[in-house]
Amino acid sequence: MRRSFHRRLGSAVRLVASAAAVLLAAHLAHAAEPIEYPPTLAKPVVETFHGVEVTDNYRWLEADTAWPVCLWTQRQNMLTRKTLDAIPERERILKRLREFAAAPRVSIPYRAYGRDDYVQWRREGLVEHAGLYIREKDYRAKPRLALDPNTWDDADKVLCEYVDPSPDGRYLAYTKRERNAFNLTVCVRDLETGEDLPDQIPYASSWVLWDRDATGFYCVHWCLFHDAKGTRGTRRGWDGYGVCHHVLGTDFKEDTVIFGRDNPERHRITIAQGQRGRYLFILKWPDRSKTDVYYIDLESDEPEVTPLVVGLDARFGVTAVDDAFVISTDWKAPLGCFYRCRADDPARENWEQIVPEQKGPIVGWWIAGQRLFVEVLEDMEVHLLVYSVEGRFLGKVPLPAIGSIDSGWGSADGRDFFFRFTSYLQPRTPYHYDTARGTLKRLERTGPDFDFGRYVTRKVWYTSSDGTPVPMLLVHRKGLKRNGRNPVLLYGYGGFNIVMEPAFDASLLVWIEAGGVYAAPNLRGGGELGTRWHEAGKGAQKQNTFDDFIAAAEYLIAEGYTNPGRLAIGGGSNGGLLVAAAMTQRPDLFRAVVCEVPILDMVRYHKMRGSNAGDLEYGTAENPDEFRDLLAYSPYHCVKAGVTYPAVFIRAGAQDPVVGAAHARKMAALLQSVAADDRPALLWVEPSGGHWWDDMTRAQQLETNADKLTWLMWQLGMIEGPEK
């Protein structure tokens, strides 16, 4: 039955594609005039991998700072600007994006350990940063501005990402991160004087956890020039990330290193604290699927680092509630579960399971007093379940729509639980759940003035090429007609066990307002259906991710949502690899592609700037078997002359530390060498841009979204092309 279905589906897709090509040709005739690309020299470099010769014509474009590369990139940017800025509708699109971006946005209110006051982020208008406000003793009290990053001299160059007030309310620890950098700088502000202390901790990688007496704090930072005993020494010792204790008024170089000696650089370390602040937890991440956990009893006469879980091939999280540890894990439970154990006897044989596996993966959890709030993703819908810390099911918190929870916080007395809910059609909105009364209340209305009621989010399932059912969410106007002519943006990721939950993005409003349909499948390689779903789309199984994405496109065509002439695909980073692989494997299915900060040369990516720890997800060409798998789908190596590819817009960041812009440059050069006149290939390398969205200023973000939407609408025939 499955093979018969796919044969019929394939026939339907080919018929629709043929008809669509004829219908769209006349409409897009204005795009037939060829774009004159900057000249690009092909300088073949031939290498042999495990007996296979591989030719790279554009290896020279990997030299990020070489002047020929910089000049070539500048000319590409000029061409892209000239082309997109000549489209009349772009200015209207940008204006609409600015209107949406000016809407208010707030975080949940929360208290740091030992504090009576609440803190909350708030941003309105087109300012660069949110400000931090304090509400004294009550989350409903009038807010007072405590920290405004917009007043900093370097406000356009840095981000303020974490804050933590001291237990006595005197100080505020906050972090600065330069755009495009990994490391943070921890600063301390005296809230009574409004001045910063001399204390600054560079090379940090975490938030801080204060001592009870507010005389110092713990944080993770790069420990340079330590000798084998952990005291300050010379470079002949070791360096790397470590958990350190900082005393206010001292130089960070004198911080006591309490954990991290001999830790490999790539092993990420984070810290957490129990409910009463007695226990400090240290989590070390060798990779995304494995966590080692240690703890320190800070009330002990001789505090020492004690292993809790080490060496298990599973992920763990932990907190302390009174004298017990609550542990989350996917150990022997691919969808996740919870255990509880006594803090004074935490051996694994004494763990008691308190929350079993659910029908979907556990994607978030929080503690409020003696209550455990568990976010479960089941059938593409989030459910917020409530348990006692002993494992008794207490109920379910009603949620407003198909969406996700992006943050939560519970009071130590268990009375209050705050969370922020979002969806494709709901701006990030803070809610308060009264645990005693079981009532849910929205705290504030956020987001732009938009008629959300005219649109709908739908759940569908479709079948991938090997018969695997795959879920997908669709967002579109109510009453949409399946006439095969709707413009559709199919967006995906499918990697690194990341869960792509529905979240608000104002640019999506511009798309659906113009009549577009948005489709988001949960591809294998992601974590939407648990760790097994991830394993089914990594390494030697990576092709499953691409097959799932291609099958989503075929479903949308077969079900009458669209046709190949009005179907676009988009993705970034690993999602950039996804859309490029789909484009090279099935160029007949798509009209346009937006490929952002992509990894594209799978043969050399591990040698290029920024590896993104991809060897754990993809493998590398150093291994003969992995090389064959990588070469088979590597987009850069799958482009062929004589094939008509979709129109492609590639965006990269010149300062990207995760996936170097060389991938984008090389792919753009290759595609331009084979591009059809009516299917342009454009490249935009943001000079100051990095890998993450927040590495751009708000103005850059708005301009980037205007570029992408303008490109998509032009290529799908929704607006007229460049004026001649």
Q: Give CA 500 to chain center in angstroms.
A: 8
Question: Percent of the chain scored above 70 by pLDDT?
Answer: 91
CA angle, 468 then 472 then 478, to 5°: 145
**Residue 180: what pLDDT?**
82
**Could you give the CA distance from residue 147 to residue 166 in angstroms, rounded to a whole number?**
15
> Do the bridges between strand 488-491 and strand 567-572 make them parallel or antiparallel, or are there none, so unpaired?
parallel
**Active-site hit among 226, 573, 606, 634:** 573
User: Any residues with CB less than 8 A from the CB of 182 and at least 6 apart, and which?
Assistant: 205, 657
Give the DSSP letter string of 661-702: THHHHHHHHHHHHH--TTS-EEEEEETT--SSGGGS-HHHHH
Question: Percent of the chain scored above 90 by pLDDT?
Answer: 80
**Mean pLDDT of the 583-596 span:** 98
**Mean pLDDT of the 582-592 span:** 98
Q: Is the pLDDT assigned to residue 628 strictly greater than 50?
A: yes
Query: Which of 4-13, 171-180, 252-261, 689-698 has the least mean pLDDT?
Result: 4-13
Residue 463 parent element (H or E): strand 455-463
Fold of the domain built from segment(s) 36-100+450-715: Rossmann fold (3.40.50)
**Mean pLDDT of the 31-52 span:** 90
Which residue pairs from 265-271 have beta carbons closer than 8 angstroms and sit at least 24 positions apart in sequence? 265/240, 265/241, 266/613, 267/241, 268/205, 268/241, 269/205, 269/206, 269/220, 269/241, 269/242, 269/243, 270/206, 270/220, 271/206, 271/207, 271/209, 271/218, 271/219, 271/220, 271/243
Query: Which of 8-12, 154-158, 214-218, 684-688 has the least mean pLDDT?
Result: 8-12
Q: Is the pLDDT assigned to residue 23 strictly greater than 50?
A: no
**Residue 113: what pLDDT?**
64
> What is the band of 263 on the pLDDT scale with cuts at 50, 70, 90?
low
**Could you give the CA distance from residue 428 to residue 295 in angstroms, rounded to a whole number?**
34
**Could you give the CA distance from residue 467 to residue 447 in angstroms, rounded to a whole number?**
40
573 is known as an active-site residue: yes
**Residue 232: what pLDDT?**
38
Query: Letter for the amino acid at 200?
Result: Q
The angle that helices 89-101 and 506-513 make with each other, rounded to 10 degrees, is: 130
Q: Is the pLDDT assigned to residue 346 strictly greater than 70?
A: yes
**490 phi and psi angles, rounded to 5 deg:** -100, 115
Domain boundaries, the chain: 36-100+450-715, 105-265, 358-447
Q: Is the pLDDT assigned to residue 698 strictly greater than 80?
A: yes
Coil vs helix vs strand at 386: strand
**Residue 492: what pLDDT?**
98
**Could you give the CA distance from residue 703 to residue 91 in angstroms, rounded to a whole number?**
10
Residue with structure tokens 């495990």?
50
Residue 377 parent element (H or E): strand 371-378
**Could you give the CA distance from residue 614 to residue 599 in angstroms, rounded to a whole number?**
10
Q: Is the pLDDT assigned to residue 335 strictly greater than 80?
A: yes
Q: Give CA 479 to chain center in angstroms.
A: 32
Residue 628: burial class (beta carbons within 10 Å; 0-12, 13-18, 19+): middle
User: Any residues with CB less than 8 A from the CB of 480 and at least 6 apart, and which?
Assistant: 486, 517, 561
What does the longest C-alpha to C-alpha distance in the chain come to? 81
691 is known as an active-site residue: yes
**Could you give the CA distance from residue 22 to residue 716 in angstroms, rounded to a whole number?**
14
Q: 234 or 203: which carries more pLDDT confidence?
A: 203
**Residue 71: what pLDDT?**
98
**Could you give the CA distance from residue 577 to residue 598 in angstroms, rounded to a whole number?**
6
> What is the band of 179 on the pLDDT scale with cuts at 50, 70, 90?
confident
Give CATH superfamily name and number for 105-265: Prolyl oligopeptidase, N-terminal domain (2.130.10.120)
Most confident of 211-215, 238-242, 405-409: 405-409
**584 phi and psi angles, rounded to 5 deg:** -75, -25
Q: How many CB atoms lie within 10 A of CB 638?
A: 17
Nearest to 472 by CA among 408, 569, 581, 552: 552
Q: What are the C-alpha distances in Å from 584 to residues 143, 419, 593, 645? A: 53, 42, 11, 7
pLDDT tens, residue by residue, 420-455: 999 999 999 999 999 999 999 999 999 999 999 999
Query: Letter for the amino acid at 278?
Result: R
Query: Which of 8-17, 116-125, 568-577, 652-661 has the least mean pLDDT?
Result: 8-17
pLDDT tens, residue by residue, 705-715: 999 999 999 99
| Average pLDDT score, the chain | 90
